[in-house]
Chains A and B, each alone.
Chain A
Amino acid sequence: DVKVTQSSRYLVKRTGEKVFLECVQDMDHENMFWYRQDPGLGLRLIYFSYDVKMKEKGDIPEGYSVSREKKERFSLILESASTNQTSMYLCASSIRRTSGRVTDTQYFGPGTRLTVL
């Protein structure tokens, strides 16, 4: 079974703090994703990575950065947390679709509920 784990289920931080959210997958997937989920807005893509050290902005990258130094690990960084970043953060991973592999099913972690006070 694919397993995607996130470092914390619940996290409370103060405004201005630097926050690291960690995600690890054990299936040797090339792609990894960070989303945030807010009531009424659904899941929105923050950043994704398609290879080690490679990243691409999603739909709402402002206020966030990411790091992917190893294939299995993808970190989301809030340089200076603000109250409007209080949210559920979800990590996902998938294989890279090629002509020989036509599925890119994403597997999600359990989520980290971040509260910024």
Chain B
Amino acid sequence: DAKTTQPTSMDCAEGRAANLPCNHSTISGNEYVYWYRQIHSQGPQYIIHGLKNNETNEMASLIITEDRKSSTLILPHATLRDTAVYYCIVSRWTTSGTYKYIFGTGTRLKVLA
């Protein structure tokens, strides 16, 4: 199965950009990269996803390398409320025609005041 690798933890100063890297070197051509975050004791919350091109929404930006083997989630101006575990996920095709998520172990981001 495709697998993602992320650093275990990172710190970021409040107001600065948080750059969270992810390695997914075994990703296949039609597999999307998704990012979610999980605040303690809640369900994961969707942030952004992409296939080949860089993507931006109101929460974050996603930069995917040209070979698609890695990506970076950017939170442009981190706040204390962005403290959470961030998961990088590859969405993989199954024989039933469904896409299932392959989760990494996540990066614990701590935003410091």
Using CB atoms and an 8 Å cutoff, list the residues of chain A in contact with chain B.
4, 31, 33, 40-45, 48, 50, 54, 56, 58, 90, 92, 94, 96-97, 103-111, 113
Contacts and interface: CB of A to CB of B under 8 A. Distances in A.
Contacts, number: 59
B97 interface: yes
A89 B95 CA distance: 25
Given A42-B103, A42-B104, A42-B106, A110 B42 contact: yes
Secondary structure dominating the interface of B: loop
A90 B43 contact: yes
Contacts of A43: 44, 87, 101, 103
Interface residues of B, number: 24
A50 B44 contact: no
Contact of B100 (A4, A45, A109): A45
A42 B99 contact: no
A54 B91 contact: no
Closest 3 pairs between A and B when the two form their complex, measured CB to CB: A108-B43, A50-B98, A104-B99
B49 interface: yes
